Amino acid sequence: DIVMTQSPLSLPVTPGEPASISCRSSQSLLHSNGFNYLDWYLQRPGQSPQLLLYFSSNRASGVPDRFSGSGSGTDFTLHISRVEAEDVGVFYCMQARQTPWTFGQGTKVEIK
Amino acid sequence: QVHLVQSEAEVKRPGASVKVSCKASGYVHWVRQAPGQGLEWMGIINPSGGSPSYTQRFQGRLTVTRDTSTSTVYMELSRLRSEDTAIYYCARGRLAVASRGGFDSWGQGTLVTVSS
């Protein structure tokens, strides 16, 4: 199975400041079609997860443009340009390059 | 985001089976989350209901089926253990024609409690 490793696991943030989360995979997520099969999700407290980014850097419908993604192969990053209070929750990366799909451990984002 | 509708919470004895339903079309995945833990992908079924794929650790215990006439997908987990206590989510693939590309709709989650 592909192992997904996120860092940090806990991230205190200040509203208005930028933040980033790293995600590394044990195998390349780059498909021969040029797509990286790496998605990002946010699970707010008490809610179901929601899709933020797919194929590493594509924002899902309705996701604010303060969220962006970068990376290819085995190293990926989620960027938040200016953190807002509603961004509190746990962020997960997930690979879909091969079954079983696997998630990172999650990064808990809290307001300082 | 569209919320998929799942069945209500269940309490089961160890060794029993549970069947959770989800109203959804397209590629449907099942993901579970143990109390205070992260997300774990369990399996996927395609739009026609054929060729479900499961993660190895659930092989033999997990069955995902769908009734296309009612757009309902079912996840059945057998031989339940206390470690199966978790919230079970269904999630729909964003793309109707491919299994990759993110899960853009999730169910509200079904809490399954396994306790003697």
Q: What b/e readout covers B38-69, taking b as 16+ CB neighbours within 10 angstroms?
A: ebbbbbbbebeeeebebbeebeeebbbebeee
C-alpha A112/C-alpha A28 separation (Å) is 35
Contact by Cβ (8 Å): A55, A38: yes
Q: Please provide the average confidence, as pLDDT, over all residues in chain B.
A: 94
What residues of A are in contact with residue B39 (Cβ under 8 Å)?
Answer: 41, 43, 49, 92, 94, 103, 106
Instruction: Decide: helix, strand or coil at residue A87.
Output: helix
Q: What is the DSSP string of B24-87?
A: --SSEEEEEE-TT---EEEEEE-TTS---EE-GGGTTTEEEEEETTTTEEEEEE-S--GGG-EE
B53 touches chain A (CB under 8 A): yes
- Give yes or no for residue B87 having a pLDDT over 70: yes
Which of B103, B105, B106, B110 is the best mutation test for A, with the most CBs of A within 10 A?
B103
B101 touches chain A (CB under 8 A): yes
Cis peptide before B47 (omega within 30 of 0): no
Of B42, B7, B49, B6, the residue nearest B27 (C-alpha): B49
- Give yes or no for residue B1 having a pLDDT over 90: no
B47 vs A39, higher pLDDT: A39
Contact by Cβ (8 Å): B64, B74: yes
pLDDT in the model for residue B88: 98
State how far residue B67 is from chain A, nearest Cα, in angstroms. Answer: 24
State how far residue A81 is from chain B, nearest Cα, in angstroms. Answer: 22
- Mean pLDDT across the stretch B8-22? 98
Length, in residues, of chain A: 112
What residues of A are in contact with residue B38 (Cβ under 8 Å)?
Answer: 90, 92, 103-106
Distance from CA of residue A2 to its chain's centroid? 16
- Mean pLDDT across the stretch B67-87? 96
Write the residue in B89, B100, B103 that is nearest to A37 by C-beta: B100
Q: Please provide the average confidence, as pLDDT, over all residues in chain A.
A: 97
pLDDT in the model for residue B99: 84
Which of B31, B100, B108, B111 is the best mutation test for A, with the most CBs of A within 10 A?
B100
- Kindly report which listed range (A25-34, A99-108, B33-42, B47-56) carries the lowest average pLDDT score: B47-56
What residues of A are in contact with residue B58 (Cβ under 8 Å)?
Answer: none
C-alpha A21/C-alpha A15 separation (Å) is 16
> Quick one: pLDDT band at residue B2, thresholds 50, 70, 90?
low
- Give yes or no for residue A45 having a pLDDT over 70: yes
